[in-house]
Amino acid sequence: MTAGDPEWNQTGTLFDGIRIWSERKKTLTKEDVKTRAKQAIKIQVANGIQFVRSHVDVTDPNLTALKALIEVREEVKDQVELQLVAFPQEGILSFPNGKELMTEAADLGADAMGGIPHFEFTREYGVESLKFLMKLAEQKIN
């Protein structure tokens, strides 16, 4: 719901895709995200979909996509149930302020917490990120 028209992933690898997304997310606007999300949801609803879960990258210091999709969730609530998973695409401990961004995402109204322990700089960071996520979800998510 947020990708838009990024640079083409010439290698087709996950890590190149993450690199491209890292650059693309810097240019996101709330209106752009909302427009694309509503288009996608309109197609889904027209095809009988009633529940949608989307992972939203929260390693954007402004949380642009999350804030936009929270607004969309409210706007489409009579048509479809939209669940938003706060997803730290570039890690929690390996990304500056990753813990704070995940906490803010929960406070803003993310429905669930996602993780990416294999993307953290070390195995220990990966384990610690999972422990952090479990505690955060227990405290913040209803």
What is this structure's pTM?
0.88
Residues 24 and 3 sit within 8 Å (Cβ to Cβ): yes
Which residues does residue 87 pair with via DSSP β-bridges, in sequence order?
57
What local confidence, expressed as pLDDT, does residue 21 receive?
81
Q: Rounded to an integer, what is the distance from CA 6 to the centroid of its chain?
A: 17
What local confidence, expressed as pLDDT, does residue 76 receive?
98
Q: How far is CA 119 from CA 9, 59, 91, 115, 124, in A?
A: 19, 13, 6, 9, 11
Type of residue at 16: D
Q: How far is CA 34 from CA 29, 42, 69, 128, 130, in A?
A: 9, 12, 6, 33, 30
What local confidence, expressed as pLDDT, does residue 6 receive?
64
In a domain, 5, yes or no: no
In a domain, 2, yes or no: no
What local confidence, expressed as pLDDT, does residue 19 receive?
85
What local confidence, expressed as pLDDT, does residue 7 receive?
78
In a domain, 41, yes or no: yes
In a domain, 122, yes or no: yes
**CATH number for the domain that contains residue 45:** 3.20.20.140
In a domain, 66, yes or no: yes
Residues 44 and 52 sit within 8 Å (Cβ to Cβ): yes
Angle between helical axes of 123-140 and 98-108 (0-180°, round to 10): 20
What local confidence, expressed as pLDDT, does residue 67 receive?
98
The residue segments making up the domain with residue 27 are 14-140
In a domain, 63, yes or no: yes
In a domain, 79, yes or no: yes
Q: What is the pLDDT along the chain (142 residues), one digit of tens a residue?
A: 556 666 788 899 988 988 888 888 888 999 999 999 999 999 999 999 999 999 999 999 999 999 999 999 999 999 999 999 999 999 999 999 999 999 999 999 999 999 999 999 999 999 999 999 999 999 988 6
Cα–Cα distance for residue pair 102/98, rounded to 1 Å: 6
Cα–Cα distance for residue pair 113/110, rounded to 1 Å: 7
What local confidence, expressed as pLDDT, does residue 4 receive?
60
Count of domains observed in the chain: 1
What local confidence, expressed as pLDDT, does residue 26 receive?
86
